[in-house]
Amino acid sequence: MFPMPVLCTYIAFGAGGLAMYHFIAEQHPSSILTLAVIMQAMAISFLCFQVVWSRSARGISVGALILDGFSVAGRIPATTWSEGYLPSDKSGDYLYQMVDFGSLILILFLLHRVLVVYRSSYAVSEDGFRVTPIIIASCGLAILVRGNAADNPLYDTCWMAGLFMGSVAVLPKLWLVQQTGGVAQAWTCHYITAMALSRALSGLFMWEAWEDMTCFEWIKGFNHSIIFVLGAHLLHICLLADFLYSYAGAMKKGIYNMELVTMHTVPLPFSQLSV
């Protein structure tokens, strides 16, 4: 049986998603994109509960939070001042943006708790994955392969850069788990599951919107932008796959508590390199 805080979180966000789908989006298919950001908010909420419940920053990767924060912040301009990347139903009018702003606030809350309130329990030496090169590479690649859905070069670039950073935001978490002996908080398993669901829903929307995601083509007749968008979604799912496999094993063994779970992760190809 799931612990009560976990169960309440699933029920609250699940009920909120269903209410949005039936009463705001009126069962419009494009609302799966709003469901995706709701699932992402739920994932971040699990990390907040982990910190609050344990009163510790153990198991939290600041690098992962930074990438997640930049990912959410990157798409906010494109979804607040443009309609190109929004669902076409009523959930894209205000709700989508409100959920993203809420997710960003939760990430800032986590960063404050980890770096200020519970800094003594933060594993600084183990959480050494460098995210600056990822941020620079994501922005550079976004400039080259951005779409034009927002009809604004800055917004389109920000959205694409946010997508790229979000797709690899789990790497610092994988690094931290490996550096701590393959052990992760049970809350982290729920975080990974919710993030995988979020990315799957977002990827499904992008697949359906293939023809609407246009770009300034390098090769006439070849839409490179949607290829990179779907590729980023697929990459994220692949990076989460090992976590999901380990979580499924924990569920099979009946591990539903707040204790640590041994994650038999596949070593990263660069895991033996010094930071």
Work out the average pLDDT over 196-217: 90
- What is the predicted pLDDT for the residue at 263? 47
- DSSP calls for the chain: ---HHHHHHHHHHHHHHHHIIIIISTT-GGGHHHHHHHHHHHHHHHHHHHHHHHTS-TT--HHHHHHHHHHHHHHHHHHHS-STTS-SSGGGTTHHHHHHHHHHHHHHHHHHIIIIITGGGS-TTT-----HHHHHHHHHHHHHH---TTS-HHHHHHHHHHHHHHHTTHHHHHHHHHHTTSEEEHHHHHHHHHHHHHHHHHHHHHHHTGGG-----SBTTB-HHHHHHHHHHHHHHHHHHHHHHHHHHHHHTT--SSSEEE--PPPPTTTTS--
**Among 39, 48, 46, 36, residue whose Cα is nearest residue 2:** 46
Contacts of 136 (CB under 8 A, 6+ apart): none
Give yes or no for residue 262 having a pLDDT over 60. Answer: no
Give yes or no for residue 272 having a pLDDT over 90. Answer: no
CA 241 and chain centroid, separation = 14
Question: How sure is the predictor about 254, in pLDDT bands with cuts at 50, 70 and 90?
Answer: low
pLDDT digits (tens, 9 = 90+) for 125-148: 899 899 999 999 999 999 999 999
Give the global pTM.
Answer: 0.89
Cα separation, 139 vs 131, whole angstroms: 12
Q: How many CB atoms lie within 10 A of CB 119?
A: 11
Question: How sure is the predictor about 192, in pLDDT bands with cuts at 50, 70 and 90?
Answer: confident
- What is the predicted pLDDT for the residue at 265? 47
Burial of 137 by CB count in 10 Å (0-12 exposed, 13-18 middle, 19+ buried)?
A: middle
Give yes or no for residue 196 having a pLDDT over 60. Answer: yes
Torsion on CA atoms 261, 264, 265, 267, rounded to nearest 10: 130
For the chain, what is the mean pLDDT? 87
Task: At 201, list the tokens.
Answer: 């829903």
- What is the predicted pLDDT for the residue at 73? 97
Per the model's pLDDT, the better-predicted residue between 248 and 250 turns out to be 248
Which amino acid is residue 153, in one-letter code? P
Work out the average pLDDT over 35-46: 96
Cα separation, 74 vs 269, whole angstroms: 28
pLDDT digits (tens, 9 = 90+) for 3-32: 677 888 899 999 999 999 999 999 999 999
Cα separation, 168 vs 138, whole angstroms: 10
- What is the predicted pLDDT for the residue at 169? 94
- What is the predicted pLDDT for the residue at 253? 56
**In the chain, % of residues over pLDDT 70:** 85
